[in-house]
Amino acid sequence: MKDLGSIMKQAQAMQQKLADAQAKIAELTVEGTSGGGMVKVVLQGTGALASVELDESLLAPGEGEVISDLVVAAHADAKRKLDEKQAELMREAAGPLAGMKLPGMPF
């Protein structure tokens, strides 16, 4: 029975680490860019779009389609970075169990 108690303590510690990692994820912000920095977007850890910054040279008449494409590309860049940071935090929290396919675990 002693081993079961040890396993339960380890599970509780891991659960706390995962909760801590999720809190860190919620606090993340990442910036994505496109068009050589002409468009910048900031995503929060939750995936919410926090801001969009456009270079004024894009605001000329007839540039609407270009702006749309650049905003989508900048968002994709930020989303990729956010996904990488989230995965890294979850791997750190999982410790030796990282990479194992356990039911109900997000890593």
Average pLDDT, the chain: 86
Has residue 105 got a pLDDT over 80?
no
**pLDDT of the residue at 7:** 80
Q: Does pLDDT of 100 surpass 60? A: no
DSSP string, the chain: -HHHHHHHHHHHHHHHHHHHHHHHHHH-EEEEEEGGGTEEEEEETTS-EEEEEE-GGGGSTT-HHHHHHHHHHHHHHHHHHHHHHHHHHHHHHHGGGTT---TT---
pTM of the model: 0.72
The string of pLDDT tens digits covering residues 28-58 is: 999 999 999 999 999 999 889 999 999 999 9
Give pLDDT, residue 85: 92
